[in-house]
């Protein structure tokens, strides 16, 4: 008699997806501090240009979220992941070509092409892994899925910072490009070995991208404002340290990741258990305190403490708002819903660099963190004003 294998635990179901996200986002996190050093230090462009180079990937991602979500719902998340990851490696080839261009302007142009390609690549594989995870463990564990995959996302971005600085110093930007090329292919191998989920029925009534936005805008917008401090830290903390002759900028960004991951490891169940609005509001208040500490920092130690506190506060905002958002959309539109939700983070990432770059030009690098604190205050206001709203059935 054939025995039915015992059901796998949620942890076992999510682990390969977490590894895929980790590999994919290391290919984004490792270049981030190197981009600032390369564009500003090697190519000689100013902070505003750095902001645009960092942020332009997010704009490319925004424009493809709808397509990625629809593709994921129609063809299944496995195909979405397996298409997005190789596309990320293609983007790295443009990174690799940039240092060999004849002029700084040409190098910048080729680099921007790579950033534009990385946008849809991320959109496809992240929408796919999020949707795949919810499908494997059930919508009642949406917060868990977003918490676990969020650990991989932001840990990769945080750990990638010191790795990127070290690689840049040792092998230059070409070394950054080579690592960025290889990592997504590791994720692709993992995805290829996994069993796919069934695609959604073609007869299911599909919600448009903008219909979904109408259902989840409050939670996405709160996330967008709460994500601004993270974008500020990854884009400009290295340059603030440099102008003040402080050592340890990569270590400070890793401190953000450490605080972020520690909270996720021990408290990831709270959004599913207590509700996203309550957990999210408390988290953003802590994040705001970290931004104010960075604004007033007069030493590397104080800046490090502010960065860690920001990571602790930001940790549960993503799954908290994700729980609220996913509760308001039907299962057959989950791919579009995930894509729509993530689009708010893209808007935040894309606008933060250029806007804060202008503020820095007027008032200096530390003024960027008061912008982050104000963004946190707006996020709390959105959460508090939406606490009594009843989810759509």
Residue pLDDT, tens place only, 378-388: 999 998 886 65
SS3 call for 45? coil
* Share of residues in the chain with pLDDT > 70 (%): 92
The mean predicted confidence, pLDDT, of the chain is 85
Overall residue count recorded for the chain in this entry:
393
Arithmetic mean of pLDDT, 87-102: 94
Contacts with 27 (C-beta within 8 Å, 6 or more apart), sequence order: 88, 89, 92, 118, 179, 180, 181, 183, 184
pLDDT value at position 4? 46
Number of CB atoms found within 10 A of residue 103's CB: 9
Distance (Å, whole) CA 208 – CA 328: 14
Q: What CA–CA distance (Å, rounded) separates 165 from 38?
A: 10
pLDDT tens string 14-36: 889 999 999 999 999 899 888 88
Confidence of residue 114 (pLDDT cuts 50, 70, 90): very high
Q: Is the pLDDT of residue 129 over 90?
A: yes
Q: Which two tokens stand for residue 60?
A: 């490319």
**154 in Cβ contact with 307 (< 8 Å):** no
Segment of 54-58, 120-124, 135-139, 298-302 carrying the highest mean pLDDT = 120-124
For the chain, domains (ranges, CATH) are: 10-194+208-385 (1.20.1250.20)
Q: What is 165-176 written as a DSSP string?
A: HHHHHHHHHHHH
Helix (H) or strand (E) holding 364: none
Q: Tell me, what DSSP letter sits at residue 38? A: I
> Per residue in 178-210, pLDDT tens?
999 999 999 999 999 988 876 554 445 566 667
Among 41-45, 136-140, 166-170, the range scoring the smallest mean pLDDT is 136-140
pLDDT at 252: 87
Q: How far apart are CA 179 and CA 172, in angstroms?
A: 12
Q: Evaluate if residue 391 carries a pLDDT over 60.
A: no
d(CA 148, CA 114): 28
| Torsion sign across C-alpha atoms 272, 277, 280, 286 | negative
Q: pLDDT band at 7, cuts 50/70/90?
A: low
Give mean pLDDT, residues 276-287: 91
CB 326 within 8 A of CB 353: no
pLDDT for residue 271 is more than 70: yes
> What is the largest distance, in Å, between two alpha-carbon atoms of the chain?
75
Question: Stretch 288-293: mean pLDDT, rounded?
Answer: 95
Taking a C-beta distance cutoff of 8 angstroms, is the pair 191, 63 a contact? no
Region 296-304: mean pLDDT is 89
Mean pLDDT of 246-263: 84
Radius of gyration of the chain (CA): 20
Tens digits of residue pLDDT in 215-252: 888 888 999 999 999 888 877 888 888 888 888 887 88
pLDDT, position 185:
96
Q: How far apart are CA 379 and CA 377, in angstroms?
A: 5
* Of 299, 18, 4, the residue nearest 137 (C-alpha): 18
The residue written with tokens 């790579």 in the block is 114
The reported pLDDT for the residue numbered 97 is 93
Q: Which residue has the higher pLDDT, 225 or 159?
A: 225
CB 323 within 8 A of CB 272: yes
Looking at residue 258, what is its pLDDT?
Answer: 85
């Amino acid at each position: 008699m054939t025995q039915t294998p015992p059901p796998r635990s949620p942890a076992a179901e999510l682990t390969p997806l977490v590894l895929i996200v980790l590999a994919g986002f290391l290919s984004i996190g490792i270049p981030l501090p190197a981009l600032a050093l390369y564009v500003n230090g090697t190519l000689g462009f100013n902070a505003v240009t750095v902001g645009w180079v960092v942020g332009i990937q997010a704009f490319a991602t925004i424009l493809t979220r709808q397509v990625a979500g629809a593709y994921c719902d129609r063809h299944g998340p496995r195909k979405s992941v397996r298409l997005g990851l190789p596309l990320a490696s293609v983007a790295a080839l443009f990174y690799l070509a940039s240092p060999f261009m004849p002029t700084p302007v040409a190098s910048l142009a080729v680099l921007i092409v790579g950033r534009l390609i990385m946008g849809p690549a991320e959109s496809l594989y992240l929408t796919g892994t999020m949707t795949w995870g919810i499908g494997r463990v059930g919508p009642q564990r949406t917060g868990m899925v977003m918490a676990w995959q969020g650990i991989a996302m932001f840990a990769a971005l945080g750990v990638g910072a010191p790795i990127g600085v070290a690689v840049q110093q040792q092998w230059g930007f070409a070394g950054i490009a080579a690592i960025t090329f290889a990592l997504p292919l590791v994720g692709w191998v993992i995805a290829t070995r996994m069993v796919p989920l069934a695609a959604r029925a073609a007869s299911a009534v599909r919600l448009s991208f903008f219909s979904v936005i109408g259902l989840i805008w409050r939670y996405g917008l709160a996330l967008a404002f709460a994500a601004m401090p993270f974008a500020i830290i990854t884009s400009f903390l290295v340059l603030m340290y440099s102008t003040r002759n402080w050592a340890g900028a990569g270590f400070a960004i890793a401190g953000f990741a450490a605080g972020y991951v520690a909270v996720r490891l021990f408290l990831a169940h709270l959004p599913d258990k207590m509700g996203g609005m309550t957990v999210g509001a408390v988290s953003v208040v802590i994040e705001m305190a970290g931004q104010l500490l960075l604004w007033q920092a007069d030493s590397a130690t104080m800046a490090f403490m502010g960065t860690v506190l920001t990571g602790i506060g930001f940790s549960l905002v993503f799954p908290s708002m994700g729980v609220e958002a996913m509760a308001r959309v039907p299962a057959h539109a989950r791919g579009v819903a995930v894509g729509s939700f993530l689009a708010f983070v893209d808007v935040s990432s894309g606008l933060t660099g250029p806007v804060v770059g202008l503020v820095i030009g007027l008032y200096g690098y530390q003024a960027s963190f008061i912008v982050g604190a104000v963004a946190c205050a707006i996020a709390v206001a959105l959460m508090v004003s939406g606490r009594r709203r009843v989810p759509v059935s």
